[in-house]
């Protein structure tokens, strides 16, 4: 995956998330290692919307560092952040508390997916 593809995929996934899960400001810088290496940020603006931009963010709450593969799994909810951190697949610099808040936002995207699956079964 290229850097641009990673940013775009992250944008698509984050668009499915519910920003109201975190009613305050949250800025997470993402550092991609290996293939598609680069830095971008995801910002939750006071619970109203989520912005993903291909720039570094110096006034961040935390910085997450992972490979592109693990990052996509993380933001799509296929890899738990705590498990990734424990296995050494995710490095967190800055506020661990804010990183956990970010995980809550990511998990908010799962609800619509579950609803779609349950509607298909009916």
Per-residue pLDDT averaged across 5-31, rounded? 92
Per-residue pLDDT averaged across 82-106, rounded? 92
Q: Which domains are assigned to the chain? A: 3-121 (3.30.1050.10)
Structure tokens at 73: 């799994």
Q: In sequence order, what are the residues at sequence separation of 6 or more whose Cβ sits closer than 8 angstroms to the Cβ of residue 50?
A: 14, 15, 17, 19, 42, 43, 44, 105
3-state SS, residue 84:
helix
**Mean pLDDT estimate for the chain:** 87
Backbone angles phi, psi at 70, to 5 degrees: -70, -35
Interstrand relation of 49-53 and 38-45 (parallel, antiparallel or unpaired): antiparallel
Q: How far apart are CA 85 and CA 115, in angstroms?
A: 29
Per-residue pLDDT averaged across 26-46, rounded? 94
Structure tokens at 79: 């890899």
Confidence at residue 75, expressed as pLDDT on a 0 to 100 scale = 81
Q: Per-residue pLDDT for 27 more than 90?
A: yes
- For the full predicted model, state whether its pTM sits above 0.85: no
Model confidence over 49-85: pLDDT tens digits? 999 999 988 889 999 999 999 988 888 888 888 899 9
pLDDT tier, 110 (very low <50, low <70, confident <90, very high otherwise): low
């Amino acid at each position: 995956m290229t850097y641009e593809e990673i940013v775009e995929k992250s944008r698509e996934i984050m668009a499915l998330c519910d920003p109201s899960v975190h009613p305050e400001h949250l800025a997470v810088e993402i550092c991609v290692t290996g293939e598609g290496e680069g830095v971008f940020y995801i910002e939750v603006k006071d619970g109203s919307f989520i912005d993903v931009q291909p720039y570094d963010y110096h006034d961040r709450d935390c910085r997450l560092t992972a490979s592109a593969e693990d990052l996509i799994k993380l933001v799509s909810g296929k890899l738990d952040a705590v498990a990734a951190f424990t296995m050494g697949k995710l490095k967190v610099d800055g506020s661990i508390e804010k990183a956990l808040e970010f995980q809550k936002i990511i998990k908010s995207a799962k609800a619509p997916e579950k609803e779609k699956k349950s509607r298909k079964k009916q």
